[in-house]
Amino acid sequence: MRVARAPARVTRRRVGRRARGRSRDAVARAHGRRKGPRTPTVRDFTLADDVRRASDAEADVAFVRAPPNARGIARERARYARSTSTRSAVVNLILGARERERDAAAATTGARRNHADSWMRGRIFTTAGEISTFDRAMVKVCARTVTALGAFDRATARADEDAASGTERDDDDDDDDDDALVDVTEDASRAITRGIEESERLCAALPRLEEMPDARAFFAAAETALRPDAIDDDDARVDDDDPSPRRSRRRTNRAVFAALHSPSRGIYRVAANTNGANKALHAEMNLLLNLRTTSAHAQTPDALDPDTTLLITLQCCEMCAALACEFDAVVAAEYFRADDGPLARRTALQIDPHRRERAFIASTPRPT
């Protein structure tokens, strides 16, 4: 005899959002999961025109609207950056906007919050026609989303405002002529310089380059330098395995070293992570972005030795992997510790058929 089962109890958790009168599209918009690329509006193109006039340059520009929680600090309508000979407008905007917030917070004695993450949660717009792999990877790691206005037809732009485009603002407030359009291109250059200087100070804990002839010697020296008892500056570095709440990780550099190794010179350049004050200044960025700038100024195709291997104590994220792939001389990457986070999956180094990423194996025989 079959016994009829009582109907399952429908709880509020099982019903979910749709039972409360919200459509599937409304839920998707609320969580930012839109189908397809977001189409720019007329207001986006209008702001792009204002930014172009303010920049007074023919180069591409990138901009982001001011977040609501930063409005009480300064009357800023948007921040923008120009492209330079070695960096795109998107790269300069992310570096510069974050560095400007770092400087503003450092200039006050605890009364000023660092709103860099709030700025980067807004949608970035660039007047370029396309977005490079490195730019898109940098946005994924250090910002939220980006749209290339050059890929859309202005004549078909929608006149209504899309509330899911990032920060929702009132029309009168957004178009206030009294609000400034702030250029952060120079802030980006200052961020790179500061990152290199701070990196050099942290790398003083490593032996001299001639004392690290290969990957084994570098990783051994780096792990020794990253031990808690070997760290002299608690404000500058923190050990990833140390659970003590000495300082918020949001303001502390993650303990990571990077190096370049070639068969002819061995270890010939090192850098450290300085992302505590500026999220974009990873060790690989301090190591390679400067070489990219230097090589362009020196009018040489590449500042790296042929057959260079990127050595890193922590596996590359998408941003750093994409940057490494821009250098033809970087043929491989070797990491000491794997990164299980989502930003280290399917990176450019992992899918590039001409490069290989591998884990360092301590039992590998030392080359003779």
Q: Which domain holds residue 231?
A: 189-359
Residue finishing a domain among 130, 148, 183: 183
Give CA 181 to chain center in angstroms: 23
Residue finishing a domain among 183, 206, 228: 183
Residues 173, 288 within the same domain: no
Residues 206, 355 within the same domain: yes
Residue finishing a domain among 167, 183, 199: 183
Tally of domains within the chain: 2
> Is there a domain that residue 28 lies in?
no
Which CATH number characterizes residue 347's domain? Answer: 3.40.140
Residues 290, 199 within the same domain: yes
pLDDT reading at 238 higher than 90:
no
pLDDT reading at 77 higher than 80:
yes
Residues 51, 93 within the same domain: yes
Residues 252, 335 within the same domain: yes
pLDDT digits (tens, 9 = 90+) for 254-263: 899 999 999 9
pLDDT reading at 300 higher than 50:
no
The average pLDDT across 215-240 equals: 70
The C-alpha torsion from 293 through 276 and 284 to 298, rounded to 10°, is: 10
What is the pLDDT confidence band of residue 178, given thresholds at 50, 70 and 90? low
Greater model confidence, 363 or 189: 189
Residues 275, 198 within the same domain: yes
Residues 167, 283 within the same domain: no
Block residue for tokens 């919200």? 22
Residues 127, 252 within the same domain: no
Residues 254, 340 within the same domain: yes
- Indicate the pTM of the whole model: 0.79
| Half-sphere exposure at residue 184, Cβ-oriented, CA atoms within 13 angstroms | 31
What is the pLDDT confidence band of residue 227, given thresholds at 50, 70 and 90? confident
